[in-house]
């Protein structure tokens, strides 16, 4: 009887350990998959941004074509900083930067305001440079800005710039976009 109870207990422990291992592997897979998707988005974004540069298309053209004269840049990530440096010195003014999570973020020339903490001065558009949770961040920013202010994702600026300049597959544009699922 004691041996049988010990065997049952060992079997239950093995099943529990197996379930725990399976759970941990699934969690790790989900995290790795999320990281792969984030890297896919970065690759797609930078590839097409470079393609636009190759065809001598500046992102300031996107804003000028849409009568957007002043912008705020949300997220001082590398892509946010690159956007700022690309449109500085054009007819589009970068008025300030906005940060939500990186409270220690600073910029050499721009005032950095905190989302939900600081009042956001009026601009024509806020450009979201984060590649993650774009829809949720867009909704948060929309609640904080004036009604006339457009909230635009950086990938929209890139994608629409490709379309505005009639750049297609024959020019090197990739057929599928990791953003199509958002």
pTM for the whole thing? 0.77
172 with 57: CB under 8 angstroms? no
Domain 1-182 has CATH 3.10.105.10: no
Q: Which helix (H) or strand (E) holds 127?
A: strand 125-128
* First-to-last C-alpha distance (Å) of the chain: 59
Indicate the DSSP class of residue 100.
Answer: S
In the chain, domain spans: 1-182
71-98 pLDDT, tens digit each: 999 999 899 999 999 999 999 999 999 9
107-144 pLDDT, tens digit each: 888 999 999 899 999 999 999 998 888 889 889 998 98
């Amino acid at each position: 009887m004691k041996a049988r109870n010990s065997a049952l207990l060992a079997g239950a422990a093995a099943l529990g350990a197996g379930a725990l291992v399976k759970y941990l592997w699934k969690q790790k897979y989900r995290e790795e998959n999320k990281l792969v998707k984030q890297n896919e988005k970065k690759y797609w974004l930078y590839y097409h941004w470079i393609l636009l540069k190759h065809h001598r298309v500046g992102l300031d053209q996107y804003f000028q074509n849409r009568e957007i004269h002043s912008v705020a840049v949300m997220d001082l990530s590398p892509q946010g900083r690159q956007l700022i440096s690309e449109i500085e010195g054009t007819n589009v003014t970068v008025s300030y930067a906005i940060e939500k999570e990186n409270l220690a973020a600073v910029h050499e020339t721009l005032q950095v305001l905190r989302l939900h903490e600081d009042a956001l001065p009026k601009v024509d558009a806020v450009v979201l440079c984060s590649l993650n949770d774009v829809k949720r961040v867009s909704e948060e920013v929309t609640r904080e800005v004036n009604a006339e202010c457009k909230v635009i994702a950086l990938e929209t600026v890139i994608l629409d710039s490709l379309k505005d300049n009639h750049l297609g597959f024959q020019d090197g544009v990739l057929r599928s976009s990791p953003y199509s699922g958002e």
